[in-house]
């Protein structure tokens, strides 16, 4: 079943077309890679899928819980509520807040109690806050950050900050998780651990995952399908074996050195 369908998606900035006529389909439960050279349009595509940018043309259809709807041009907050979460290439945490508060803030996208309840602290408010705290602690445990939950997030190591970003994204209870270079800046041991956790998270949280990554060993190891962008255009889409041997992809991006 298709969870997201992108058709003829285009984004131009003045004379520059950063994403050009892209068609892409994400099946429920898939782990898909999005690769391509610097400036190919990968982050711009993420920004279109998450409402940061309004497309110049084309459509994005989300199909979650049997409900099909167009999300092109909708606000990021609304798209998160519909079940699409992301992490950023440049880590975006509340650096002067604690690790726990970073996760709790992300969760408040989904609270059910109203504004009134949050002011007068009704039983519903306390019940839900207790639930949220429990879930926040569970997420921190998964990412082995529970012993640092009261530390300021700026004091975490780089790898830990990347993990906290993923925990924050998961706190919004997404169906689709978009990871923008999750292994950037990680050492080989951290990357290996992350590779395993991404696979595990997909199963555990019943996710569909689209990830941008320059680390080809990670991409080739865990992605079932890979989409390749070059100059904003989708130049290939296929299983890792097909992508590795695709002439156009080798010329545009992989070069001769990738044996992953």
Ligand X SMILES: Nc1ncnc2c1ncn2[C@@H]1O[C@H](COP(=O)(O)OP(=O)(O)OP(=O)(O)O)[C@@H](O)[C@H]1O
For residue 70, the minimal CB distance to ligand X (Å) is: 22
**Residue 42 within binding range of ligand X, rule CB under 6 A:** yes
Q: Which residue, 44 or 80, is less far from ligand X as judged by CB?
A: 44
C-alpha 144/C-alpha 33 separation (Å) is 26
CA dist 49 and 79 (Å) reads: 8
Handedness of CA 38, 39, 43, 45 (dihedral sign): negative
Quick check: 255 and 216 in contact, CB under 8 A?
no
Site for ligand X in 80-109 (CB under 6 A): 89
Question: Going residue by residue from 170 to 209, which x/- string records binding to ligand X, judged by CB under 6 A?
Answer: ----------------------------------------
Shortest distance in whole angstroms from residue 98 CB to ligand X: 30
User: Is 38 one of the binding residues for ligand X (CB under 6 A)?
Assistant: yes
Of positions 36, 55, 174, 182, contacts ligand X by CB under 6 A? 36
DSSP symbol at 87: -
Query: 170, 205 in Cβ contact below 8 A?
Result: yes
Cα within 13 Å of Cα(65), Cβ side: 5
* Strand order, beta sheet including 31-35: 84-86, 176-180, 208-212, 31-35, 225-230, 233-238
Nearer to ligand X, 20 or 208 (CB): 20
Please report how close the Cβ of residue 246 comes to ligand X at its closest, in angstroms. Answer: 18
Cβ atoms of 35 and 253 within 8 Å: the answer is yes
Question: Smallest distance from the beta carbon of 212 to ligand X, in angstroms?
Answer: 7
Which residues make Cβ contacts (< 8 Å) with residue 50, sequence separation at least 6?
76, 79, 80, 84, 86, 178
- What mask, x for binding ligand X by CB under 6 A, covers residues 217 to 236? --------------------
Please report whether residue 18 would count as binding ligand X according to CB under 6 A.
yes
Binding site residues, ligand X, CB under 6 A: 13, 16, 18, 36, 38-44, 89
């Amino acid at each position: 079943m298709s969870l997201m369908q992108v058709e003829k998606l285009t984004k131009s900035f003045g004379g520059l077309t950063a994403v050009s006529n892209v068609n892409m389909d994400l099946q429920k439960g898939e782990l898909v890679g999005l690769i391509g050279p610097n400036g190919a349009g990968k982050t711009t595509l993420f920004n279109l899928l998450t409402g940061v940018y309004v497309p110049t043309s084309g459509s994005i259809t989300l199909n979650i819980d049997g409900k099909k709807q167009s999300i092109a041009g909708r606000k990021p907050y609304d798209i998160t509520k519909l079940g699409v979460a992301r992490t950023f290439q440049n880590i975006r945490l509340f650096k002067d807040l604690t690790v726990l508060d970073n996760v709790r803030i992300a969760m408040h996208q989904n609270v059910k109690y109203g504004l009134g309840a949050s002011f007068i602290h009704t039983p519903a408010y306390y019940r839900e806050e207790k639930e949220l705290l429990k879930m926040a602690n569970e997420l921190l445990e998964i990412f082995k950050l529970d012993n640092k939950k009261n530390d300021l997030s700026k004091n975490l190591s780089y790898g830990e900050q990347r993990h906290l970003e993923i925990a924050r994204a998961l706190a919004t209870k997404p169906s689709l998780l978009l990871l923008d270079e999750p292994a950037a800046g990680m050492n080989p041991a951290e990357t290996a651990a992350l590779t395993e956790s991404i696979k595990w998270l997909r199963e555990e949280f019943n996710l569909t995952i689209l990830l941008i990554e320059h680390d080809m060993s990670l991409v080739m190891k865990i992605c079932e399908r890979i989409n390749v962008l070059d100059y904003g255009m989708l130049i290939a889409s296929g299983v890792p074996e097909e992508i590795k041997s695709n002439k156009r992809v080798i010329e545009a991006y992989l070069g001769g050195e990738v044996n992953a």
